[in-house]
Structure formats: C-alpha cells, structure tokens
Amino acid sequence: MLPALIICLIAIPALHFWWRARFRQEQERHRAQLAERDHQDLTSSTEALARQDALFDSMIEGVLVLDENNAVRFANGAFVEMFQVSGVLRGRALLEAARSHELIEIVARAAVEGRVVDYEIQLPGQEERWLEVCAAAVSNQERRKLGTILVFHDVTGLKRLERTRQEFVANVSHELRTPLSHIKGYTETLLNGAMDDPKIANRFLQTIERNAGRLQLLIEDLLTISELESGGVSFDLRAVELRPLITKICDDFRARAAGRTVRIETQCPDLIIRADAGRFEQVLSNLVDNAFKYGSSGGRIVVGAVAAGDFAEVFVQDFGPGLAPETCERVFERFYRVDQARSRDAGGTGLGLSIVKHIVQVHGGRVWVESTPGKGAKFFFTLPLQKSATAQG
C-alpha cells in the first residue's frame, strides 16, 4: 500500500509538471501560428495596398477620395500633377488640397444627388487647363455618408480643338460673306435696271467676275487645307533635282509678271531633294506669289537654296516692307493677315502660308521667316536631301 502511495505521490506532480509543460508548448505553438497568420495578413494587405496605389497611379485620370468630413483620404499621382499640390495630402481639407471652390460645390451636390457627372472646371491658376469631373457620394446601408470619390479627366486638348473649329467656321463664314454680298448686291443692281446701260453693266459684271474668282480661290485653298489636315493625302516622294524645278517655277512667274518691273533672280547649286514635286511647286509658288504681292514694286526677288546638313534650305527673299517681329510666327496661322485690306486687294485668302507649313511639315521639314522691317522678308523652308545621288526627275 505504501509503495503504491509513494508512487502516486511522485507520479501526480510529475504528471502535473509534464502536463503544464505540454500545455505551455501548445500555447506557444498556437501563439506562433497566430503571429504567423497576422504577419501573412499584414504582408498581403500591404501588398494589396501597394497594388492598388500602383493601379491608381498608372491612371491618366486624377482620382481623389474624401472622407465624410471632406478631408483627403487618398489622391493618385495624376491628381497631384493636375492640381500641382505638394506635401502629404492625406488628412488635408478639400479646399486646402485643391484650392477650388467649385469642387466644394460639386461634392455638396454629389451628397444631395448621389452623383454628379461630366461637370467641367478650369484648373485654378492654370487658365488654359480644363477638367471634366465626375463625383459620386459613398454611403453605408443606413445611408450614412462615408465620403466622396472624384474622378478628373483632362479635356484641355478637346477644348482647344473645339475652339479652333469654332474660330475656323467663323473665319470661313466671314471670308465667304464679303465676296458673296458683292456678287448679290451687283446682281440686284443689274436686275433693277443697271443692265440697260452697257457701260455700267460691263463694269458691274467685271466686279461680279472678280468676286466669283475670289470665292473660287478661297474654296480651292480650303479644300487643300482640309485635304492636308485629314492626313488622307499621299505624297509622291521621289528624288527631285532642285535647280531645274526652281528655274521652271521662276520662269513661269517671270512670264506672268511680264510688263512689271520686278526682277526674279535664282541662286541654286545642284541639289537632289526627296520631295513630292507637285507639292514643292505649290509651296514655292505661294512664297514667290507673296513676294510679288507684298514686296516692293520695281524691286527684286531672290529665290535660292543651300545645303544644310541632311536638308536643303530653300529661301525666297524680297525687299519690301517686311514683317514686324511679333508677326513672324503668326503669318503661318490660318487666316492671319498683317494688313487685311492689302491681302484682299491682292487676291489673298489668308491661307497660303498655312498650306506651305502643312506641306513642308509632311516632308519632315520646317518653315520660318526672318525679316528686318522696312528692308524686306526672307522666307525659308527645309526639305530632306536625297541620300543616294541619283535623281529620277
């Protein structure tokens, strides 16, 4: 009995200590497992956040997430770039982050209406930048407001295109109206009796013919511009000998200018360019024609070319009144004229130089003008030189 009691007395504490050790081991294993799972959860949620940030930052649209008090919870890279904000945005008030009262109104509207779509705003401090804003209020099931999500789309390019189109339509209408109203006015006067006097009738008919010619020129230039801008025209690029082409175009002008005292000189070395010969003729003719129209009567026009690196630099120089420095860039814009009346009297459409610019750019060249007011203007354009030396004409 005693030995059994002794054994029991020893076994019970031993069992107790063994059991406690096991229990501690189990507890530690369990704790380690929990810690491991927490670590995994943390890693995967950090990864998910990083993926989400990368996704939002790769968007070209700006994204701004606000909390229920309209403080910033998240803003992506595009938003930061659009609104040019610096420093930490998280926690900052909307007005402080975006400096736009309009945005506050949009957020308030979204809270009432649920969504605000396609609202346009101009970026604060950036006159020329337009954004389209979509805002959506986020609420929970009890309809308690949790925040607002705003998405910003840069529509500056579209706005600019829209404005250019509107200006173009207004300019075309204006240009067409003048000759048309002349034609209409003179026709009505003829019909009301003026045609009974052959002398007056003849003069009026000549005016009508001149204005119809203006309309025709304008429509031809407009068609050329729209054809070039559509990008649908194919240029027949070949090796072209420059000297014979320049000589031919200048000879045509000399023949047309017979009786006038303007002298055309040519200065051109043997160069072979890669160009569409027909389009080249259009470019050079427009420039020489301008030199005739705006150069000094009785003066001289020099047409020539020089090699400059991989390009031929062609120039047309006159010794007329020239151009003021601030107009040198603008003359290549559609319908820009320094002197409206002079251009119209000379039969100009205001489109010649923009056609020149388009054609030269399609060839990979550039066009510019240098001028000293009172001493004349020198228009330049470059065209690529043909790499191999053989011209096909």
Does position 323 interact with ligand ADP (CB under 6 A)? The reply is yes
- CA 172, chain centre distance (Å): 22
Q: Which of 62, 147, 179, 320 binds ligand ADP (CB under 6 A)?
A: 320
The number of CA neighbours under 13 Å toward the Cβ of 262 is: 26
Does position 154 interact with ligand ADP (CB under 6 A)? The reply is no
Q: Residue 153 is encoded by which pair of tokens?
A: 């789309």
Hey, which residues between 276 and 295 contact ligand ADP (CB under 6 A)?
Answer: 286, 290-291, 294-295
Residues in contact with ligand ADP, counted by CB under 6 A, come to a total of 22
Does position 243 interact with ligand ADP (CB under 6 A)? The reply is no
* Shortest Cβ 276–ligand ADP spacing (Å): 20
If the CB atoms of residues 62 and 348 are measured against ligand ADP, the closer one turns out to be 348
Burial of 341 (0-12, 13-18, 19+ CB in 10 A): exposed
If the CB atoms of residues 298 and 393 are measured against ligand ADP, the closer one turns out to be 298
* Shortest Cβ 321–ligand ADP spacing (Å): 6
What are the backbone angles phi and psi of residue 154, rounded to the nearest 5°? -75, 115
**Helix (H) and strand (E) counts in the chain:** 10, 12
If the CB atoms of residues 269 and 347 are measured against ligand ADP, the closer one turns out to be 347
* Shortest Cβ 234–ligand ADP spacing (Å): 24
Question: Amino acid identity of 360?
Answer: V
If the CB atoms of residues 1 and 341 are measured against ligand ADP, the closer one turns out to be 341
Mark 256-275 with x for binding to ligand ADP (rule: CB under 6 A) and - for no binding: --------------------
Q: Which of 253, 303, 318, 358 binds ligand ADP (CB under 6 A)?
A: 318
| 172 C-beta neighbours (distance < 10 Å), count | 17
What does each C-alpha distance from 268 to 139, 168, 257, 265, 302 come to in angstroms?
A: 76, 38, 21, 10, 10
* Shortest Cβ 53–ligand ADP spacing (Å): 51
Q: Residue 286 is encoded by which pair of tokens?
A: 């427009």
Under DSSP, the state recorded for 322 is -
Cα–Cα nearest to 148, from 52, 69, 84: 69
* Shortest Cβ 235–ligand ADP spacing (Å): 21
Output the CA angle 335-221-348, nearest 5 degrees: 55
* Shortest Cβ 269–ligand ADP spacing (Å): 24
Task: Give yes or no for a contact between 319 and 295, defined as CB atoms under 8 angstroms apart.
Answer: yes
If the CB atoms of residues 273 and 351 are measured against ligand ADP, the closer one turns out to be 351
Question: What is the Cα–Cα distance from 276 to 288, expressed in whole angstroms?
Answer: 18
* Shortest Cβ 306–ligand ADP spacing (Å): 20
How does strand 300-308 pair with strand 263-267?
A: parallel
| 165 C-beta neighbours (distance < 10 Å), count | 10
Does position 179 interact with ligand ADP (CB under 6 A)? The reply is no
Mark 335-354 with x for binding to ligand ADP (rule: CB under 6 A) and - for no binding: -xxxx---x----xxxxxx-
Does position 225 interact with ligand ADP (CB under 6 A)? The reply is no
Footprint on this chain of ligand ADP (rule: CB under 6 A): 286, 290-291, 294-295, 318, 320, 322-323, 331, 336-339, 343, 348-353, 377
